[in-house]
Amino acid sequence: MGSNTPESQIFLMFGNGWIANLMKDILLEQGKTIIMSKARIESREQVLSELTKHKPTRVINCASTRGTPNVDWCEDHKVETVRSNILGVLNVVDTCFQLGIHVTQIGSACIYTLSEEEIKHQPPFKETDEPFYQGSWYSRSRLLSELSIRHYSNLLLLRIRLPIAADLHKNNHIGRLLKYEKIVDLTGSGTVLPNLLPGALVLSEHAVTGIYNFVTPGQISNVELMELAKKYIRPDLTWQTFVLDDMLSTLRAPRSNCIMDTTKLQKKLREYGYEVKERREALEEVFQIMAEKGL
Residues that bind ligand NAP in the complex, under the rule CB under 6 A: 14-20, 40-42, 62-66, 84, 88, 106, 108, 160-161, 163, 171
Cβ proximity to ligand NAP: between 20 and 196 the closer is 20
Q: How far is the CB of 228 from ligand NAP (least distance, A)?
A: 19
Q: How far is the CB of 256 from ligand NAP (least distance, A)?
A: 10
Give the CB-nearest residue to ligand NAP.
17
Are 144 and 83 within 8 A, CB to CB?
no
Query: How far apart are alpha carbons 189 and 161 in whole angstroms?
Result: 7
Q: How far is the CB of 9 from ligand NAP (least distance, A)?
A: 20
Query: How far apart are alpha carbons 54 and 60 in whole angstroms?
Result: 14
- Closest listed residue to residue 211, CA positions, set 145, 265, 258, 172: 265
Cβ proximity to ligand NAP: between 6 and 48 the closer is 48
Q: How far is the CB of 199 from ligand NAP (least distance, A)?
A: 15
Q: How far is the CB of 235 from ligand NAP (least distance, A)?
A: 27
Neighbours of 4 (CB within 10 A): 13
Q: How far is the CB of 1 from ligand NAP (least distance, A)?
A: 22
Q: How far is the CB of 85 from ligand NAP (least distance, A)?
A: 7
Are 41 and 92 within 8 A, CB to CB?
yes
Cβ proximity to ligand NAP: between 2 and 144 the closer is 144
Q: Which residues contact 153 (CB under 8 A, 6 or more apart)?
A: 97, 209
What's the N-to-C CA distance of the chain in angstroms? 42
Query: How far apart are alpha carbons 36 and 248 in whole angstroms?
Result: 37
Cβ proximity to ligand NAP: between 28 and 238 the closer is 28
Cβ proximity to ligand NAP: between 9 and 65 the closer is 65
